[in-house]
Amino acid sequence: MQRVNALLRPIPTWTVYVAGAAWAVWLFYLGLTGGLGADPVEALEHRYGKIALQLIVLGLAATPLCRFARLNLMKFRRAIGVTAFFFVLAHFLVWALLDVQTLSAVWADIVKRPYVTIGMAGFALLIPLALTSNDWSVRRLGAMAWRKLHWLTYPAAVLGALHYVWLVKGFQIEPLIYLTLILALLATRLPQARKRRRAMA
């Protein structure tokens, strides 16, 4: 992994934002030009949502990969998280503005459809994380308070995976893989959480 880490070290974190934005624009272009099939709105909505979930998994994997595999993605973790939120926001906007289209229908879906309710709850948890993912917020809140706030990532990730599991029709293995990965990555944090509690006791 030393070779991989050496290759990653000179890459600036802003490349994550550029790559994410380019990816989102490219998918939107494909939707406009018929490259996403017969229902481009639904395809775009699902693509954005799936990419967001993949980035959330990658962000959660950064710490275990560093600890167990010595692959150091830690400097990219915040950028990955912000880019994940960007795709969640894009997923929401495509659904609200291009699919559902009216505020009353958006609210009705949130209230009546459990998978939409779960997805919106996960989205709401991500908003304060995106707003505070900057050095000024770390200084303003203090490192400990900032870290505790960003533990909201964990329930948000679980809610996002449950949203995907509930969304699909019939039994499909892919959403369950995302849920399993997220739960497994959260489980790797339990020993450290126990150590912190013992240290504070």
Summarised one tens digit per residue, pLDDT across range 115-159 is 999 999 999 999 999 999 988 888 888 888 888 888 999 999 999
Long-range contacts, stretch 12-17, CB < 8 angstroms, 24+ apart? 13/75, 13/76, 13/78, 13/79, 14/79, 16/76, 16/79, 16/80, 16/83, 17/79, 17/82, 17/83
CA angle 119, 79, 186 (to 5 degrees): 55
Strand ranges in the chain using DSSP code E only, listed in sequence order: none
Token duo for residue 79: 């950028």
Q: How confident is the model at residue 66 (pLDDT cuts 50, 70, 90)?
A: confident
As a whole number, mean pLDDT of residues 102-122 equals 90
Q: Which residue has the higher pLDDT, 169 or 160?
A: 160
| pLDDT > 60? residue 52 | yes
* Share of residues in the chain with pLDDT > 70 (%): 94
What local confidence, expressed as pLDDT, does residue 165 receive?
Answer: 92
Question: Rounded CA gap, 40 and 123, in Å?
Answer: 23
As a whole number, mean pLDDT of residues 85-104 equals 92
Q: How confident is the model at residue 195 (pLDDT cuts 50, 70, 90)?
A: low
Burial class of residue 140 in the structure, from the number of CB atoms within 10 Å of its CB (0-12 exposed, 13-18 middle, 19+ buried): exposed
Longest CA–CA separation in the chain, Å? 60
Q: Which residue has the higher pLDDT, 54 or 63?
A: 54
Q: How confident is the model at residue 86 (pLDDT cuts 50, 70, 90)?
A: very high
Find all residues with CB under 8 Å of 133, minimum gap 6, and list them: 78, 81, 82, 85
| Amino acid at residue number 158 | V
| pLDDT > 70? residue 97 | yes
Question: Rounded CA gap, 158 and 160, in Å?
Answer: 5
The count of other CB atoms within 10 Å of the CB of residue 134 is 12
Question: Rounded CA gap, 30 and 95, in Å?
Answer: 17
Q: How confident is the model at residue 6 (pLDDT cuts 50, 70, 90)?
A: confident
